[in-house]
Structure formats: structure tokens, C-alpha cells
Structure 1
Amino acid sequence: MTGDTGPGGGTAAEAIRRYAPMVYGPTALYSLGQGAILPLLPIIAQELGADLATAALVTAMIVVGQLCGNLPAGWLVSRLGERYTMTAASVVSLVGIAGMLLSRHLGVLMASTFVIGLCAAAFALARHTFMTTRVPLAYRARSLSLLGGSFRLGAFTGPFVSAGLLALFGREQASIWFFGACLVLVGLLVTFGPDPEQKAAQAARAERAAARESIDHDSAPSEDTGEAVTGSIPITERIGMFGTIWRHRAVLSRLGVAAASLSFLRASRPALLPLWGLSIGLDSSSIALIVGIAGALEFALFYASGQVMDRFGRLWASVPSLLLMGGAMIAMSFTHDLPSAAMWFGVFALVIAVGNGLSSGILLTLGADVAPKQNPAAFLGAWRTLTDAGGALSPLIVSALTALVSLSAGTAVIGAVGLLGAIGFIRWVPRFVPSPRRD
């Protein structure tokens, strides 16, 4: 971490150390617990009598819950604040955990998974809003890339935890208990631990007091002439959730759609890569090895993305990310029937991993960049709804294109969406996003 100085004299390293115990810690803990149950949800669903399609739907209910929960979470954060929203999300998530443990019917399991998805949206939006309002633009991308890395940590390490618990206890429900324990710890941390909101507010008050003292020293006291004061007194306007969306419809319909294309491309990987490996005749262990190495590579790059965005601008991470992922998918679509298809699969899986690693924190950072300074939670709820919708549509599009045309054609179409998204970023980022060097 560098010592870049932002407004107020703080540095990126100081901000990250300040927020690590109460922002990144709970986020990593929550995502670790969620990552531990995701691989086992289809197995639990099948034990309750689900077929393959229904089991996949049970797992998808977390994504559906997140998609449906973003707008209500924005309203809740704007009313209660980040800390109380996270506490409430932890408590309600425990209700979902209890439903999972006690469910004897697929409908109960599906509803419980949906509830956890709703709470995941509230948790993520609360942290996103806090970082948007508290972290200066000069090192915002690095801080939010670490937040994105904290979410990725669970997705990367959670399956290893669930495998260990399964080997130790022999039951899938052990991972659900583990997630419940993580939620209890998260709830205790955010409720009773040091409040980063208060720390940030105290630092801001100290800076304002120092600025006032400096002004008092430099300027002479003015006399009261008895004349009426002209000019308006600034007030904070509250326009509500849908008023905020309507006011910022230009950025949401342009940059927001481009951001959704990145989310679309990202979400296609978990479905596309295993399918491609199977279609070219690789066994399960080979596919798992290639996908695992690619996952480790993209996880290792998450902080580099923030460095690039803060030093050179948002385009220098977002556009190469989309070009690498989209170009690799288009190129891979032409290798299916080649004798060296397995070799090319490994090469392009790694290229896609590099592109995805460079995109860590981009959606969080761009959302924070264009969010209004007053009441950003409502805007971020709409922003996250758009990006989550892109991610939710991706597996459905992969499945539909594979069934209607072919896997190669579907892969090429998804890659083309990435190239169109890169054009959208080039067009709209300079218009809507401030440069970090001008903060």
C-alpha cells in the first residue's frame, strides 16, 4: 500500500487500517459463511426430492433474493444507517438459517435461501454506502477493491471449508451451522464493536474544527451591521427512492447498462467454463484443476485493480478487463473442434481469470463515483439492481444459447457483449466519472 495522501491528510494505508476490523473483517466473515453453503445447496435440495433443474433453482434463489433486495435495502440504509441495517440483516439471516436446518420441504428451503439473499443485499449495500460516503476519491478504488476482495474471499475459500466440514461431520448441514456461527459473529461485531461511522465522523469534525481555527486566525472579526442576511440557507432535500432513480436516470441508463454488461460477463464464467471443459471431453478433475488455478489467479489480482484505477483512472482497469474476457471468449469459441482444444481451454481460462481479476471492485467504485453525495443509498440500490440483473441473466442466456444454437455460438455471443460493454465504458466513463487526480 502506498502513502498517497487524500483530502484531510489521510493516506490509503491509514484508511484501510482504520476500516479493516469493522468493514473488511465482517464482510469476509459473512462471505466465507455464504461461500461454504453454496456448493452444498443443490445436494440438500436433492435430498428433499428435487431434480437437477429444481436443485439449480434453489441455489439461484440467493441471486434472486439479492436482486429483489437491493432497492428495499437502499431505502432501509437511508432511514436506519449502515450499522443498524447490517445488524438487522444478520438477525433476519439467522431466521433463514433456521429455515434451512428445519426444512423438510423444498418450498421452505427455497424461501429460506431467498431470505438469505435479501439479507446479503442489505449487508453489501450498507458497506458500499459507507465506503462511498467516507473514503476520499483519491484512494477510493483501492479501498473498494479490498471490499470486493473480501467478498471474493468467501467464494474462493468457502468450498474448501465446506469440504472440510463434510469430511469431519459427514453431513451437509454442518456448513449451514457454520454459516450461522459466522452470522452471529458478524452481528456481534457490527453491533458492539467500534463503530467506523463514528470514527469517520469524529475525524471529519476534527478537520472542520481545524479549518475554522485557521480561518479565525487569518481573518479579522466582522461587525454586525444589523442588516438582514440575504441568500438561502442550504438544506438537504429528500426526494425518496424513486425520485432519486428518476433524477439520475441518465447515468443509470447509460453507464449503469455498461456496468451490467461487465456483471453479465463475470457471471457467465462459472457456468461456461465447466460446460466447455465437458464438451471437449475433459474429465471432472482436469476441469476442476483448470478452474481452480484460474480462480486463484483472479483472486490474487484484486488489489492491483484498485491501484490501476486510482493511479491511472477507471478506464484503465474496466476496458482491459472487458477486452480480455470478451476477446478470450470469442477466440475460444473457434477452438472447440481443434485437436489442441484442451490446451486452448487452459490458456483462455487463465486469460479470462486475469481479466476478471482486473475488474475487482470496478462496479463498487463506479457506483460510488457517480452516486449523489446526499443520500447515496437509494442510488446505489438502483445501481446494484442493474448490475445484479446482468449477473442473474447470464446463466439463463448461456443455457438458452447452448440449447438453441451451440455452446460455441453462445460463447461468442457472450464475448461480443463484453466488447460492446467496453465501448460503453469508453463512451460514458469520461462523461460521468470524475478523475481521481482532481479530488
Structure 2
Amino acid sequence: MLVQIVNICAIFERILGGQDLFPSYSVKVSLESSMSDQPRTTKPFANAFQIYAPSLIYAIGLGAIMPAIAGASSRFGVSLAVAASTVTLIGIGSLIANAPAAQLASRAGERLTMIFSALVGTLGVTLAWAMVAGWFPLQPPSDFVGYMVGILMIGMAGAGFNLARQSYLAVAVPVSHRARAMSLLGGMLRIGSFVGPFLGALVQSFMGMQGAFAVGAACMGIAVVVSLFIEELVEPNTPSHLESTTTNPIEIITNPTMTSLAKQHWRVLLSTGLGVLCLAAMRASRTAVIPLWAGHLGLSPAHASLIYGVAGAIDLVMFYPSGLLMDRKGRRVVAISCLAGLAIGTAVVPFTGTAGWLMVAAVLIGLGNGFGAGIVMTLGADYSPDIGRPKFLALWRLLSDTGTLSGPLLISAVTAVSTLAFGIWSIAVLGFVGAGIFAKSLPPGPGSVARQTEAPTKPGN
């Protein structure tokens, strides 16, 4: 599957006159290689290719268990509301594990962080599987508590796995090709979310509900093994190296804290970072908006799933063109278009009265979301400093995870005091606000937004 994906991306490059990016080999990487806007080799993805295989496998495993989490919860005798809320444990686990994951990546490196995180994810899925299958003679509510701990572990593992691979790609790929690298990584996540549920459903057909967890445990276990073959980044961030490459030793900070990084980059975090929060909220809300409005229209679950699936397919095919556009035209045009597309599509939903028109709105939402594949990771990589990169990316993910949790809550809160239509419009307004933030905070043109923002002004200008 990965080979076919790479071949499709290579076709896009050739059609648009690009170079051959994708090698069949990998070499060791160095921090200096990521600091130039020019490709350092004829195959800029030489060092990135090894990241995509474990990412795709891990994403398939996660995609297999996500639809089963709430359904499996109901087997423990809890209410439907409690069962539905267990899905949020994934986001909560990711939120609370961002800082520890950054510390681990800073100390142990990206490769070991990915291996450890995938192992924790495997253990978490296995624990949840054991509770669902009744491997241990536990009485209620102890079995449900064990199940929730397993789901929380999956979320925590995702924080470390996602942060480490983003940090790795930020170094392994030159800035001129960074957006394509991040979009391809985003594509792995989308493909996993698309393929995983089907694979989980296939195994469930002869194993029952626990089949989804069996697929998840197997895929995450395979991701552990595949991650062992990733070559560690060679990051020359020792004090001696820094002293030889800087003219101001006072500025050397070999181990900045997350607090010091937040103080140093507060302008970015409170401007572009808020736009990222809005985007994450929009993306999380789209998974609720379409099914909720389909139910409001009286459509069957099968029709709702079909509409959502079409939107997902549109989203899926857009990920690599999005990266090409970001690298060639700039991050700003993609970020604004992504949020504007999501906001317009969401705002149209309450005006639809038939399945056909809801499908049109869903396609707009899918186009908008697919148009921004990898944008959050690309912006985070652009703004991340060479020293303390994992910790900065943890701050970036903290904003994104906060948006992911808050989006559906905003819809619920507004709907509780008014109507579902106003709840949907409230999240659409948030999308337009985010687009405005990106329009104001992001510079135009290709290349790293941080380099454009922080470029020194020549004397006399």
C-alpha cells in the first residue's frame, strides 16, 4: 500500500514538473541539513521515507479501534452518555502526555520515543481488549475502569508517537520540501483512518467486538518492530558544537524548558497558535456535524455513513496536492483556504433539507479539510527552534489538542441553550475567525513562515 501511495505522489510531482523525491534507500541525517531552503540531495525525502511505514501501520491500528470504543463501553453496563464519553479519553490522554513526550524526545531522541510510544499504545489496546474479552475475573466497575485506563494509554501513546515523527521530519527534510513531507504524513493518518475501520469490521465479523482491538494491538505491535529500523537523527546540539557555530555564546541554551520556550515564542503561540486551535476545533466538529444533521433530517444511519464516507474520500485524495501548493505558493494561502472551506461547508449544513444537499455540504467540508492536510504540522515545524524542537512542538500540539476537545463541546453547549442549527453555526463562525487570524499572522509566499517573519532587516531599510 505504501509503495502505491508513493507512486501516486511521484506522478503528481512529474505532472507538475517536480523532481524525483522518493528514494528506495535511507541515510543518516544531520540537523544542519534541514536549515537550508535548497534540497541537499536529488532525493529530498531520502531520510523521511522510513517514517511513513510505521506511521501508516500505527494509523490503521488506531483507525480500527476508534469506531469500537464507544460500542465496547456499552458492554460494561454503563449508560449511553458514559459510553459515548469514553472516546474523549483519547484526546485527554494526548493532552496530558504532550509535556512528558517532549521531555522523552529531548532526552532519548525521536526514534526511541516512537518505539516506546508504539509499545505503550500496544499495551493500552491489549488492556482494553482484555477487559472487553473478560480475560480477567474482575467485577464491575473494576473491569470498566481497566478499560478506560487502556483507552487513556492509547491517547497518551499517540502524543509521543505523533510528536516524535513530526520532530523527525522537521529535521530530515529540507525546508523547500517540508510541507510535502508533512502532508504525506497527514495522508498516512487519513489512509489509516479510512482503511482501519474496514479491516476492524472484517475481523469483527468472526471475532465479535473484540476483533477491532485485536487488529489495533497487532498493527501497533508491528509499528513497534518497524520503528526499530528507523535511523536515529544525528543532532549536533552539544555545547561544544553550539559554541563553534554561534558568535554569541550567551545565547546558547542547550536545554530550554517549555516555559522558557513559551515566553520566547508567545507572539507566535497567541497569533498563529490560536488559528491552529480554531482549525483543530473545526476538524473535530465535522465528525459530529454531519451525523447529527443527518439524524435531524431523519436519514438512516446507512445514509449518514455514506455521506460521511464520501466527504472522507474527498479529504483523502487532497493530501498531497495540498503539500505541493504549500511548498510552491506558501502556507498562508493553504491555511486560509482550508479554514474558509471548512467554515463555508459547515455553515451551509443547517440550510440543507435533503440527503443530496447535505452531501454537497459534506463535500465542501471534505475539500476544505483535505486542502489543509499537514498544515498544522508544517507550521509547527516552521516555527520550532533548532534547540528544544520537541518541547516547542509539544506546546503546538497542546493548542491543537485543546481545539480538538473544545470544538464538539462548543456545539453541545450552544445546542443545549438554543438549537442544533445555531450550534453548527457557532463552530462555523469559529472557522471564519481562524481564517482571519491566519490572514493576519502568516506571511505570503513559499518557504518557512518563521524565516519570513524573523528575517533580519538590512541597515538603512
Specify if TM > 0.5: yes
Deviation at 1:4, TM superposition (A): 8.2
CA offsets, 1:265-320, max 9 Å, x none? Answer: 11101111000111012122211111111100110101111011000001111111
Q: Is residue 91 of structure 2 the alignment partner of residue 53 of structure 1?
A: no
Q: Indicate the residue corresponding to 1:402 in structure 2.
A: 415
1:134 counterpart (167, 172, 175): 172
Deviation at 1:77, TM superposition (A): 0.5
| Structure 2 letter corresponding to 1:39 | P
CA RMSD of aligned residues (A): 2.3
Q: Indicate the residue corresponding to 1:16 in structure 2.
A: 45
Quick check: 2:48–2:172 contact (8 Å CA) kept in 1?
no
Give the number of the structure whose residues are more often helix, by fraction: 1
Q: Is residue 263 of structure 2 the alignment partner of residue 262 of structure 1?
A: no
Q: Indicate the residue corresponding to 1:221 in structure 2.
A: none
Q: Indicate the residue corresponding to 2:219 in structure 1.
A: 182
Q: Indicate the residue corresponding to 2:156 in structure 1.
A: 118
Q: Is residue 41 of structure 2 the alignment partner of residue 41 of structure 1?
A: no
TM-score with structure 2 setting the length:
0.82
Secondary structure in 2 aligned to 1:16?
A: coil
How far apart are the structure 1 equivalents of 2:274 and 2:159? 19
Quick check: 2:111–2:227 contact (8 Å CA) kept in 1?
yes
Quick check: 2:109–2:232 contact (8 Å CA) kept in 1?
no
Secondary structure in 1 aligned to 2:255?
A: coil
Deviation at 1:234, TM superposition (A): 7.9
Alignment of 1:92-171 (within 5 A): 92-103=120-131, 104=138, 105-167=143-205, 169-171=206-208
Q: Indicate the residue corresponding to 2:119 in structure 1.
A: 91
CA offsets, 1:29-50, max 9 Å, x none? Answer: 0010011011111121111112
Deviation at 1:246, TM superposition (A): 2.0
Q: Is residue 11 of structure 2 the alignment partner of residue 3 of structure 1?
A: no
Deviation at 1:175, TM superposition (A): 2.0
Quick check: 1:58–1:109 contact (8 Å CA) kept in 2?
no
Deviation at 1:147, TM superposition (A): 0.6
How far apart are the structure 1 equivalents of 2:264 and 2:248? 25
Residues 282/196 of structure 1: CA separation in 2 closer, same or farther (3 Å cut): same
Quick check: 2:278–2:403 contact (8 Å CA) kept in 1?
yes
Alignment of 1:311-330 (within 5 A): 311-330=328-347
Secondary structure in 2 aligned to 1:344?
A: helix
How far apart are the structure 2 equivalents of 1:98 and 1:231? 51
Q: Indicate the residue corresponding to 2:55 in structure 1.
A: 27
Deviation at 1:196, TM superposition (A): 5.7
Secondary structure in 2 aligned to 1:434?
A: helix
TM-score with structure 1 setting the length:
0.86
Q: Indicate the residue corresponding to 1:282 in structure 2.
A: 299
Residues 86/343 of structure 1: CA separation in 2 closer, same or farther (3 Å cut): same
Quick check: 2:56–2:192 contact (8 Å CA) kept in 1?
yes
How far apart are the structure 2 equivalents of 1:301 and 1:253? 29
Quick check: 2:63–2:193 contact (8 Å CA) kept in 1?
yes
Secondary structure in 1 aligned to 2:274?
A: helix
Q: Which runs of 5+ in 2 are unaligned?
A: 1-12, 22-36, 132-137, 237-246, 456-461
Secondary structure in 1 aligned to 2:178?
A: helix
Secondary structure in 1 aligned to 2:86?
A: helix
Quick check: 2:335–2:372 contact (8 Å CA) kept in 1?
yes
Alignment of 1:318-397 (within 5 A): 318-333=335-350, 335-336=351-352, 340-397=353-410
Quick check: 1:245–1:378 contact (8 Å CA) kept in 2?
no
Secondary structure in 1 aligned to 2:221?
A: helix
Quick check: 2:176–2:327 contact (8 Å CA) kept in 1?
yes
Secondary structure in 2 aligned to 1:195?
A: coil
| Structure 2 letter corresponding to 1:330 | A
Secondary structure in 2 aligned to 1:197?
A: coil
Quick check: 1:318–1:425 contact (8 Å CA) kept in 2?
yes
Secondary structure in 1 aligned to 2:104?
A: helix
Quick check: 1:315–1:426 contact (8 Å CA) kept in 2?
yes
Alignment of 1:303-314 (within 5 A): 303-314=320-331
Higher relative contact order (CA 8 A, sep 6+): 1
Q: Which runs of 5+ in 1 are unaligned?
A: 203-229
Deviation at 1:16, TM superposition (A): 2.9
Secondary structure in 1 aligned to 2:44?
A: helix
After superposing the two structures, state which structure 1 stretch, 284-293 or 354-363, moved more.
284-293
How many residue pairs match? The answer is 400
Q: Is residue 75 of structure 2 the alignment partner of residue 75 of structure 1?
A: no
Deviation at 1:194, TM superposition (A): 4.5
Quick check: 1:162–1:175 contact (8 Å CA) kept in 2?
yes
| Structure 2 letter corresponding to 1:3 | Q
Quick check: 1:73–1:122 contact (8 Å CA) kept in 2?
yes
When Rg is computed on C-alpha atoms for both structures, the one with the higher figure is 1
Deviation at 1:187, TM superposition (A): 1.3
Quick check: 2:272–2:442 contact (8 Å CA) kept in 1?
yes
Q: Indicate the residue corresponding to 2:458 in structure 1.
A: none
Deviation at 1:102, TM superposition (A): 2.5
| Structure 2 letter corresponding to 1:121 | A
Deviation at 1:403, TM superposition (A): 1.9
Quick check: 2:179–2:327 contact (8 Å CA) kept in 1?
yes
Residues 377/58 of structure 1: CA separation in 2 closer, same or farther (3 Å cut): same
| Structure 2 letter corresponding to 1:364 | M
Deviation at 1:137, TM superposition (A): 1.1
How far apart are the structure 2 equivalents of 1:126 and 1:40? 27
Residues 331/98 of structure 1: CA separation in 2 closer, same or farther (3 Å cut): closer
How far apart are the structure 2 equivalents of 1:288 and 1:197? 42
Secondary structure in 2 aligned to 1:174?
A: helix
CA offsets, 1:69-109, max 9 Å, x none? Answer: 11211111111100111121122223213321222521111
| Structure 2 letter corresponding to 1:197 | L
Deviation at 1:381, TM superposition (A): 0.1
| Structure 1 letter corresponding to 2:55 | T
Alignment of 1:243-262 (within 5 A): 243-262=260-279
